[in-house]
Structure 1
């Protein structure tokens, strides 16, 4: 995140989904390729506007890693019409909040504000889509800010450093090999010209999706999008070829030696994302499996490894299937005092093996599903989270109906489905292990 740290024919609006209060989601497309997704939610007189550019670290090559994140910073340096930090000050003066973030697959800018100020937000976003200024002294100063961000968030944080090296080892030749923030050597050599060329290539309507959720009328939002974005020309850049992950051929193990108080383990398995549309059922089964392992105090990791065996001080599992390419099912753990690293790893692998050998019980399956569904419903109650999910789905070329079918998909998963994915994906061949080995703290 910033400050330290997603045709030539107008398509008629199509009703594609309903949330809990039966809000209709409508989708439009401008002649220049800009996609507009509007979801009406009239519970409060506010609106969330998010501009998603379909470019992230997965699109970068060696030598310019981190450029998408760097450009995110530059987008707040101003245009001729809105110079310096006036963008942020303008939104703040209207009682709104704005920020941005960069991921592997997208770069996203957003505003949360009273509905009467939506037009101002769209006017400002359109201005910086086309007219961003690159002043040499400001660019150099911001690059120094980014280097300091990397030092604070990665190089001085041993667990973040381990995560970065884990992902590099797990994604040999793949799109997610490089960190979003970039390698320090590449950040150091980024030039103003590099940034301008990246901006001119990707920051165009045909690589953008505008998502608006809140107390709005979809047709009126479409009219505003036409007013402020229709005149901006499409980019002539060609969508890059896919960067599929090199098929894993065996277990990969790395060590990260850094100044730290405690060891730290990252254990990952190469698994599909929703980009593999034919594997949708398996993906939902993996989500349920993650909840069986790490879905609260009654889940297996907490119950067995932390409380019963006391081999882990903390342990968790993470799986995000909303990715453009295959991803990692990641387990991270810190051994309890006196626990040998090998014992911690063996204990985790034993829990994985149980899932492949024995069906989860009906009660356990119900709890895992309830944990997932209740969390999802809670998140979807937020207009910001609604917009976030719509943006992810649309920029990944997924059906936005998925936003409203999540519960039924999760409920359809059986114990046999969970066992099947445990057997299929949790194998040595797909495994990557990273150990943080503490060095003496001065």
Structure 2
């Protein structure tokens, strides 16, 4: 072998081994600090570039909403970009009386509309007119996207947020020398958020719902699939809320939810990158330490009753057929959840997986097939298999083929070679996710919130490595059964000629 080739091979090996070395040493690299008000700070010092990923995860999501609050967590995700008493406004003292009048008018409008056919249409029209006028008056005080503008001017990138069943996260990548600006902005948002343009933004969310769910067959299937699978637990309700839920959300209700839960004791902050941890602690204590804690997010008390028979949901649409099959399962850190991680990768992770080889390559029954856990992780959830039939094959053919593969799991032991391949892929994927500052920050906040500790990242592969062929067969026999499954399909609707 030529010297240059040996050098190249050595460099390649070192590059491939670097992520695994990082994963192995994560326990020593994560530094923790908890403020007196309960906010949890996780830090990882990495000097590969002069940048920092800063993620704030609030442990409140759509699963924590009451029936009259559905959609609030998602709407608040939008609203918390609107500013504070000092940002997003030219004159808050002059703006506030208008915001109060807007709320009074909107409450009266919602009250009258709630009477349905008994409502006074003339009164409704007049209140709508008043609300539109007040909102136009309030617009003159609004500074659009001021958070985003300040971050952009100071080198920030990737400024975003997302809401799930489990929580709400705000994220930004910043130059390392701008972390005090981040602390000032985010602490101000936590203390002094103003839900301006509330009803305008509520209309935006309603349009989002129409576009992504009400007129989108795949979205409609997913919502109805979850609502069918979960009859009691809030995992069955859409994160965005049903349309009538959104229509009845008020600013007062949103502010109550905000002040109750979006507080330090429900927040996990991860700061990863070119940092001095002690300086970050000082900054966080200075800006966030003075904020009072809110109400701890309590556990959802309701438990989904055991399913005792197959459920089916069909969506008729002018769209190609789709199939979803979901099985109720436990969540992390239950031992069987790790077995499902193995089953997931065995069945549908990549071109070498069982379902892909059998259904895409050999039988050509489907154009794609996947599996995943949904819709959240804090409570027992679903193991879902999704597939798109390839014409002229039918949903029924695809469903039968999937059940054949599930029966194999119950009867034929998984080979040691398959288990080792899964571990290799898992180690590579987990390490790849931690290469970026943002990927590591996301994992730290995600598992601290859902598993109760970020150390799940370290323990996960060890627990998966302990899964045996007998475990796979036992779990398949226990959970992947007819009485525990929910099936959702899109059936192509024939257009009348």
TM-score with structure 2 setting the length:
0.81
Does the 8 A contact of 1:322 with 1:393 survive in 2?
Answer: no
Contact 2:349-2:370 within 8 A present in 1 as well: no
Counterpart among 222, 236, 239 of residue 177 in structure 1: 236
Write the mapping of 1:37-116 to structure 2, written as runs, cut at 5 A: 37-83=42-88, 84=143, 85-97=145-157, 98-116=159-177
1:377 aligns with 2:431: yes
Gap runs ≥5 in structure 2: 1-20, 89-142
- 1: CA distance, partners of 2:44 / 2:376: 20
SS in 2 for 1:19: helix
**Residue of structure 1 in register with 2:396 after alignment:** 342
- Taking a change above 3 Å as real, the CA distance of residues 316 and 64 of structure 1, as seen in their structure-2 partners, is same
CA deviations over 1:164-222 (Å, ceiling 9, x no partner): 11111111101301111111111111111111111111111111111111111222211
Q: What residue is the counterpart of 1:252 in the other structure?
A: 311
For 2:180 and 2:495, locate their aligned partners in 1 and report how far apart those are by CA, in whole Å. 53
Distance 2:299 2:341 in 1: 30
SS at match of 1:79: coil
Q: What secondary structure sits across from 1:63 in the alignment?
A: helix
Question: 1:363 offset after TM fit, Å?
Answer: 2.5
Cα shift at 1:154: 1.7
**Are 1:212 and 2:271 an aligned pair?**
yes
For the residues of structure 2 that align with 1:426 and 1:406, how far apart are their CA atoms?
Answer: 23
Q: Cα RMSD (Å) of the superposition?
A: 2.0
For 2:375 and 2:341, how far apart are their aligned partners in 1?
8
- SS of the counterpart of 2:203? helix
Q: Distance in 2 between matches of 1:259 and 1:130?
A: 48
Contact between 1:49 and 1:110, CA under 8 Å: does it hold in 2? Answer: yes
In structure 2, relative to structure 1, the CA distance for the partners of 1:348 and 1:236 (3 Å cut) is: closer
CA drift of 1:354 comes to 0.4
Distance 1:368 1:238 in 2: 36
Structure (1/2) with the larger helix percentage: 2
Shift of 1:124: 0.6
User: Which residue pairs with 2:178 in the alignment?
Assistant: 117
- Match of 2:316, SS state, is strand
Contact 1:18 1:404 in 2 (8 A): no
Cα drift, residue 237 of structure 1: 6.1
Residue 273 of structure 1: aligned partner: 331
Partner of 2:384: 330
Query: Partner of 1:39: helix, strand, or coil?
Result: strand
2:98 alignment counterpart: none
1:110 match: secondary structure: strand
SS in 1 for 2:33: strand
Q: Which deviates further from its counterpart, 377-386 or 410-419?
A: 410-419
Distance 1:441 1:220, change over 3 A: farther
How far 1:417 moved relative to its partner?
2.1
Q: Is the 8 A contact 2:44 2:273 kept in 1?
A: yes
Please report how far the alpha carbon of residue 241 of structure 1 lies from its aligned counterpart in structure 2 after TM superposition.
4.3
**Residue 165 of structure 2 contacts residue 375 of structure 2 at CA under 8 Å; is this kept in 1?**
no
Checking the alignment, whether the CA contact within 8 Å between 1:291 and 1:369 is kept in structure 2 is no
Matching of residues 184-203 of structure 1 within 5 Å: 184-203=243-262
CA distance in 2, matches of 1:322, 1:240: 14
